[in-house]
Structure 1
Amino acid sequence: MSIRILDAKVWTPTDLKEAWALRERFRLQSSFVAGGTWLQTQWEKGIPYPSHLISLENIAELEGVDQREVNGKQCLYIGALTKLNACGQHPAIQKLCPLLSAGIQQIAAPAVRNLGTIGGNVAHGLGDAIPALLTMDAEVLFFDGRILKSEKLEHWLKGRKRNQESLLTGIILPESQHSSFSNQFFKKVGRREAFSGSVVTVSGVISKNEAGVIDFARLVAGGGENTPKRLQETEQLLIDQKINFLLLKNVYKTILHEFHPNSDVFYSNDYRRRVTANIIVSELSRLGEAS
């Protein structure tokens, strides 16, 4: 058995500007790193580490969870270096964003969640926390070398190449306001290995008014090497509808038409689509049965 040795220089800047200067110096030969769990998955696939690792662990401003006002609205801020387990167990997140808390508990194994950070899970565009964050209309804060900027996570994910030229610093979550007849869910279908990606990850919020009519729907699907995306066609189909057998049937067909994940050596595109459709129809049925 051969042993692979990490051959990389590790740098430990203490502020954003110093971290950025190192990135500018080494460019594609470098990578920002926090918990290192994503890099571990790449290493296990045979992808070599970059020559220079820029550790963010000593940048204190990237840690912590607090409530703050953003553009006149109360929001929850999560620093990018906050460990996944700390996010999942934080009282404010459990109270104000229970969907994220529940979702984080399904990410990998406890040892991985103790190392991995919320920023690392989001930064590479494939993390299992992303569906929950998209469901909650999250924004990201990032440093572009000069100033801090904010952008909707949904839009930020579409600029993967541009994102490599920025440094994610935090997540902003608006306080959710849904009717009492609401179903929030996060479902992950995964393989057994702690470091392997999920097969399918689905998150959603669907609510109905007192008349039983759906007045809000946000659905997100991802998993594997697929960047999570909103199922906007399915969302539109649900609005102003009552839950019945015909609607459930149409929702299933629409998801199969709208969601096009990649296949891999383990699971086909069709399998992932059908698992996603089954999960959402099941959760929709549960809301329909709720009084």
Structure 2
Amino acid sequence: MGMRMLDAQVWTPADMKEAWTLREKFHLQSCFIAGGTLLQTQWEKGVPYPPQLISLEKVEGLEGINYKTEGTKHFLQIGAMTKLAACRNHPVIKEKWSLLSTAIQQIAAPAVRNLGTIGGNVANRFGDAIPALLTMDAEVSYFDGNTIITEKLDHWLNTSQNNEVLLTGVILPEYRRSSFAAQFYKKVGRRESFSGSVVTVSGVIGKNDAGVIDFVRLAAGGGDNRPHRLKETEQLLIDQTINPDLLRNAYETIINEFYPISDVFYSDDYRRWIAANIIISELSGWERKG
């Protein structure tokens, strides 16, 4: 790794405007770098470093976790440079957004979580934290060269220009809590948390006192598959009570809606099967407990 690092020039801008100017100057010959764990993974696969690395470590205002209130809205603002380990162990996240803490626990090894940042995990658009963030209806904020813009993570993941922005933070709104709520995050990997995932799924589901599902978000990703919401399955489940027929229909909908790619280890059909089985298992178990 050391020789590769010597091949690249590292820039340390003091603010976002300077970082943006450098990115515009070097364009595709450069990239923003936070904890550097993604570059390490790519390097191990034989992908060379860009010749110009723009480190964000000295840019002020990109680190920290703050619980905020604006009118009737309550939300958590996480700076993009905040370490994954800090997110996992933060008391407010553990209390109000515990699904994120659960997800981070399963991301790589502790040493990686101590270096990697929440922004880096999201910015590459394939990070294992993203399914959990999608089910929490997270937003992202980013600098576009002129101003800081905030938009839904779900939308940002599918916009072509997101490689040309500087991610500044992740925002978690307090989500509605039903009478009975359950949440889950499951990562299936070749060697548990120390490898890239085969499939990663997450869900937040609630039902009212009558046992009717009144709140649901589901997301799936894993490996080189960009995580996305399973909105057709969500629509199928909403306003329904769980029963064998609904579970069978939900299984088929997941199979048709989740479109992973194959690699040398696992086929797309296998990944679909794993994702569908995990979600249906969670729904079945939740109903038994309810």
Bucket of the pairwise TM-score, normalised by the shorter protein:
over 0.9
CA displacement, residues 95-154 of structure 1 (integer Å, 9 cap, x when unaligned) = 110111111100011111111000000001000000011001111000001111101000
* CA–CA separation in structure 2 for the residues paired with 1:17 and 1:184: 39
The offset of 1:88, in angstroms, is 0.5
Unaligned runs of 5+ in 1: none
SS at match of 2:61: helix
* CA–CA separation in structure 2 for the residues paired with 1:96 and 1:66: 13
CA displacement, residues 136-191 of structure 1 (integer Å, 9 cap, x when unaligned) = 111100000111110100000001x3011110000111012211311100000012
The offset of 1:3, in angstroms, is 8.0
SS at match of 1:192: strand
Number of the residue aligned with 1:265: 264
Alignment of 1:80 onto 2:67: no
CA RMSD of aligned residues (A): 1.5
Number of the residue aligned with 2:250: 251
Number of the residue aligned with 1:66: 66
Q: Is the 8 A contact 2:107 2:194 kept in 1?
A: no
Are the structure 2 counterparts of residues 10 and 185 from structure 1 closer, same or farther at C-alpha, using a change threshold of 3 Å? same
* CA–CA separation in structure 2 for the residues paired with 1:230 and 1:71: 29
Number of the residue aligned with 1:163: 162
The offset of 1:11, in angstroms, is 0.7
Number of the residue aligned with 1:102: 102
SS at match of 1:217: strand
Alignment of 1:89 onto 2:89: yes
Q: Is the 8 A contact 1:186 1:202 kept in 2?
A: yes
* CA–CA separation in structure 2 for the residues paired with 1:71 and 1:13: 35
The offset of 1:197, in angstroms, is 2.0
SS at match of 2:22: helix
SS at match of 1:10: strand
* CA–CA separation in structure 2 for the residues paired with 1:4 and 1:253: 50
The offset of 1:71, in angstroms, is 7.1
The offset of 1:244, in angstroms, is 1.2
Amino acid at match of 1:162: Q
* CA–CA separation in structure 2 for the residues paired with 1:205 and 1:9: 43
Amino acid at match of 2:189: G
Q: Following superposition of structure 1 onto structure 2, how do residues 169-188 of structure 1 map, counting pairs within 5 Å?
A: 169-188=168-187
The offset of 1:5, in angstroms, is 3.1
Number of the residue aligned with 1:136: 136
Q: Following superposition of structure 1 onto structure 2, how do residues 1-291 of structure 1 map, counting pairs within 5 Å?
A: 4-6=3-5, 7-70=7-70, 72-159=72-159, 161-192=160-191, 196-291=195-290
* CA–CA separation in structure 2 for the residues paired with 1:284 and 1:117: 32
Q: State TM-score, norm by structure 1.
A: 0.96
Taking every aligned residue pair, what percent have the same amino acid on both sides?
66
* CA–CA separation in structure 2 for the residues paired with 1:125 and 1:16: 21
* CA–CA separation in structure 2 for the residues paired with 1:102 and 1:163: 27
CA displacement, residues 219-270 of structure 1 (integer Å, 9 cap, x when unaligned) = 0000010110111111111011111111111111111111110000000001
Are the structure 2 counterparts of residues 235 and 46 from structure 1 closer, same or farther at C-alpha, using a change threshold of 3 Å? same
The offset of 1:193, in angstroms, is 7.9
Unaligned runs of 5+ in 2: none
241-250 or 260-269, which moves further after superposition?
241-250
Q: Is the 8 A contact 1:97 1:176 kept in 2?
A: no
* CA–CA separation in structure 1 for the residues paired with 2:195 and 2:25: 32
* CA–CA separation in structure 2 for the residues paired with 1:152 and 1:57: 25
The offset of 1:32, in angstroms, is 0.3
Q: Is the 8 A contact 1:41 1:195 kept in 2?
A: no
Q: Is the 8 A contact 2:107 2:113 kept in 1?
A: yes
SS at match of 1:179: coil
Amino acid at match of 1:257: N
Q: Is the 8 A contact 1:182 1:287 kept in 2?
A: no
* CA–CA separation in structure 1 for the residues paired with 2:61 and 2:276: 41
Q: Is the 8 A contact 2:4 2:49 kept in 1?
A: no
Q: Is the 8 A contact 1:19 1:56 kept in 2?
A: yes
SS at match of 1:266: coil
* CA–CA separation in structure 2 for the residues paired with 1:122 and 1:196: 17
* CA–CA separation in structure 2 for the residues paired with 1:283 and 1:180: 18
Amino acid at match of 1:10: V
SS at match of 1:102: helix
